[in-house]
Chain A
Amino acid sequence: MLLQKQSKVFAALLLSLIVFSMWDLMVGQVHVSWLQLLHWKTLNHSQSLALFELRLPRLLVAGFSGALFAASGTILQTVMRNPLAAPDIVGVTAGASIIAVAALLFFPNLSNMGIAWLACFGALAGFSLTFLFARVNGDVAPTRLALTGVAIGTTLLAGEHFLLLILPVDIGSSLNFIAGSVYGANWQRALAITPWALIFLGVTLFLGRALDLLALQDDTSIGIGFNVKHMRMLLLLLAVILAGLGVTGAGILGFVGLIAPQIARLIVGAKHQVILPAAMVVGALLVILADTLGRVIVPPAELPAGIITTIIGAPYFIYLLIRFSK
């Protein structure tokens, strides 16, 4: 019974993913209708250029970044037992972003993959800083973690703006790490993150059971022969890498890592084996939708997807804060 309901939910999710992806491919300066989309071999030159060289890589980057942030948020929320945890709340994305910009400034010849790994390192540094400062007497209270993370994130972002303004730099390529936008995503970037995103998202899918166990009380999990400490460290590391890859793809997409897991929990229940894939699809959906909306609201102007996710996500965060404190 339950399984039937879940498979219906997944069918609906995948269907909307396909529909919204098609919408994303259709709109823009050069319009492509959905019928033409199905007969993609008959497109004229400008249409196929827009579709295959601009919109398809952009769609891939948007979808993968959303899924990466969502997976990272799901792990962080469960491992830290904190509904307010998300990569952009606990300083992870800001750390990744500042290191990626610094890497572009100081090693301009670095490959996309090199930047991605450095971004993961920055994500780890940002998270460690947040964790260390939020820990008082061995205890990390949820609200303090969130507040400390936001404070450290603010400082790192100010540092990043400072770097960008004092050093000569190709602003175009570094701006995408701040703004939270998939504008200008090309095949080079899409191909750089796709394989790693697939690997790490795949690994994450197998860790649903471990997350279920961690959601239990520590004593219970230890009782059934489960090394809580090691597993927790491993999962946190994975969450940080996922977010670092996400930042390399689309910069800081505010609140995606917070909302997507929450929505997934609401619609598929409490088992992480189903929450994880659902969260990934919801995350991808959110970013693709935000990117499309950003292009259709007032063309030809484009709003970065990150602004739209923030406008949707911030009120939700406040709602959570209120509900959580009652």
Chain B
Amino acid sequence: MKPEPIWFRPPPPPSRPPAAPARPAAPPVEVSIDGQRATVPGGATILDACRARGVDVPTLCFLPTLTPVNVCRVCVVEVIGSRALVPACSRRVEPGMAIQTESERVRVSRRMVLELLASSVDLSTAPGLHDMMARYGARPERYGRPAAPAAAGERDRREPGHHEAPVGERAETVAQPVKIDNDLYMRDYSKCVLCYKCVEACGVDAQNTFAIAVAGRGFDARISTEADVPLPDSACVYCGNCIGVCPTGALMFKREHDMRAAGTWDESKQRTTDTICPYCGVGCTLSLHVQDNRIVKVTSPADVSITSGHLCIKGRFGFTFVEPPGKDSD
């Protein structure tokens, strides 16, 4: 008699479910936050420690899914004995650290940062920043009326040192025409606060495509493709992960941009439903933003382990096959 092949009957389960090996935890650290003593896990950042204790430290360029780049200076806190304010998002706690999250020095610094940003950048699609400005009493108008917008491509051609003498009553801005060079997403660098999130998501933190980087220096610094070529000529693979992390709406789905322009974008009428991408076997969670029975935007939750909020071109944009042909306004 032939032996029964093993696959006729599944093998017995293991004695206990398999698990990842335990990692030794670093010893806890004693610190004080706003005068309160706190014991926090070793290796935690100041931001981790504050958030774990319900202390609200504002952030702009920080995301849990990206490596901190310390550029926005919104999350700075005062560490007693430290000459400079320190970025809470990346500085790790040390034994005995005394942290002040809302001291006058901290508040003035945050207010200044927000005023400089708001005086030079269009924050109309960045509601989170408006709340922050109110909290710190930021008055960007004290820097003067906004200067005239740059012509298309003008800022992209600026070289270091090519500056005109400042005009005191006008605030220099990054205002410039919107860049639309493909059917999937657009770039409005008038709204860019140079938080680097898109660069990080395009690079080693998610996509490893390196289609964009920060070009230029000082106030002329801007996000650019290689040699400022249009996206279709760049290395871009249209994963849209830059849109997913952009905090100001500078990077936006073409569909959202068009609906906003037409006055039909209405978040109060939108429902979000989580489902699974219809394409490959990775099983990415898609959050479908639906308005009037139409998918208007696709995102992914940052706290889903499979995606960390990141998708590919098919998951992000390849949904239109469930729409009637010809209705696509893109």
Do A and B originate from a single complex? no
Residues of B within 8 A of A (CB): none
Interface positions of A (Cβ within 8 A of B):
none
